[in-house]
Amino acid sequence: GAVVSQHPSWVICKSGTSVKIECRSLDFQATTMFWYRQFPKQSLMLMATSNEGSKATYEQGVEKDKFLINHASLTLSTLTVTSAHPEDSSFYICSASKGGTGELFFGEGSRLTVL
């Protein structure tokens, strides 16, 4: 199957700093990528839809100025958590949509801990 890679897999940062998480489709071009967030023992919640070359579409309740998404190429989308606070600590997962059927492939996830 297709491969989607996230980096870093885990990151610890101080409160007030910004953290960037990368999502790459390694063997296919992804015009659309999705960012999810998962709290412990809870569902994956869709945060935003990232379209190559255009602005991301955010789900209701997600602060677009807090979670900056950039989809500069067909193989890379980035999520930047700006001025991170402890409540932003979570598991962030991206998925990439493969052309044709639009099948989704998920990255390995990134664990963010804000101290």
21 sits near other proteins (criterion: CB under 8 A): no
The continuous run of DSSP H or E covering 23 comes out as strand 19-25
93 sits near other proteins (criterion: CB under 8 A): yes
Cβ closer to other proteins: 42 or 83? Answer: 42
Q: How far is the CB of 56 from other proteins (least distance, A)?
A: 13
Q: How far is the CB of 88 from other proteins (least distance, A)?
A: 18
52 sits near other proteins (criterion: CB under 8 A): no
- The answer to whether 8 and 21 have CB atoms below 8 angstroms apart is yes
Q: How many residues bind other proteins (CB under 8 A)?
A: 28
Q: How far is the CB of 1 from other proteins (least distance, A)?
A: 8
Residues 6+ apart with CB under 8 A from 42: none
Alpha carbons within 13 A on the beta-carbon side of 3 = 3
60 φ/ψ sector (left φ>0, alpha ψ -120 to 50, else beta): beta
Query: What's the full length of the chain, in residues?
Result: 115
97 sits near other proteins (criterion: CB under 8 A): yes
Interacting residues toward other proteins by CB under 8 A = 1, 4, 6, 9-10, 34, 36, 41-46, 49, 91, 93, 95, 97, 101-109, 111
